[in-house]
Structures are given as structure tokens and as C-alpha cells.
């Protein structure tokens, strides 16, 4: 069974630990198997040297830059400009919704 995280693709998050401490960035992808999120515009970018391959996506090879991933425990959701923890509760329409624990508002 897949883990369910409270941070989703497209959310704005603040980095609370690591080399990019304090940056507010957008989540590009959530990897639930490795508990990591790929974030956009991080100052650190992974570079990978790729050999030329005829039938692959990069036939010329070279140096490919990839966005860096961060462990999900090192990011915190930003709602209305403030970093907040996230909870889940049953909303008005009997569906599970996320809410900001600092303000109580639905996200």
C-alpha cells in the first residue's frame, strides 16, 4: 500500500533543513517509495554524465542537469505566506480535506 503524504505536487513549500534552508519553492513531484520530493529552482542541481545512446531519449549524451530531491521531513507547506503543519479532516461535503493547523483554514 502506498503512503499518503500531506504535501502534493504543485504545493509551495519552505525548506526547513539542509543547504537550502529558508527557500520557498514549488513541488514538482512526490516520490512515495523514497519519501522524497523533487523541488523546482533549488540552488543545488544534480549533474549526471550520460553516454551517447542511439535508442534512448538523449542520443548525443553529455551532461544532464536534474532537479534535486529533498526528504519530505525537511519541507513544510506554505499557506497564505506562513509555513504551517498540515492536518486532514472531513469537510462539509463529506470528503477528506487538508487544513492548515496554524489557522484552521482548508487548503
Q: Give me the residue spans of the domains in the chain.
A: 12-100
**Extended beta strands in 1-107, E state:** 12-15, 24-31, 36-39, 45-50, 62-67, 69-71, 75-79, 82-84, 86-90, 96-100
| Average model confidence (pLDDT) across the chain | 88
**In this predicted model, what pLDDT tens digit does every residue of 20-47 receive, in sequence order?**
889 999 999 999 999 999 888 775 677 8
CATH architecture, range 12-100: Roll (2.30)
Q: What are the strands of the beta sheet with 69-71, ordered from one edge?
A: 69-71, 36-39, 24-31, 12-15, 75-79, 82-84
Comparing 59 with 8, the larger pLDDT belongs to 8
Percent of the chain with pLDDT over 90: 53
**In this predicted model, what pLDDT tens digit does every residue of 55-75 receive, in sequence order?**
777 788 888 887 778 999 999
Amino acid at each position: 500500500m502506498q503512503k499518503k503524504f500531506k504535501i502534493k505536487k504543485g504545493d509551495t513549500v519552505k525548506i526547513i533543513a539542509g543547504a537550502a534552508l529558508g527557500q520557498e519553492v514549488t513541488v514538482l513531484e512526490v516520490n512515495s517509495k523514497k519519501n522524497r520530493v523533487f523541488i523546482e529552482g533549488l540552488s543545488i542541481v544534480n549533474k549526471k554524465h550520460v553516454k551517447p545512446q542511439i535508442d534512448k531519449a538523449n542520443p548525443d549524451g553529455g551532461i544532464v542537469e536534474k532537479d534535486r530531491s529533498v526528504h519530505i521531513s525537511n519541507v513544510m507547506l506554505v499557506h497564505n505566506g506562513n509555513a504551517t503543519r498540515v492536518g486532514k479532516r472531513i469537510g462539509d461535503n463529506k470528503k477528506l480535506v487538508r487544513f492548515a493547523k496554524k489557522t484552521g483554514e482548508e487548503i
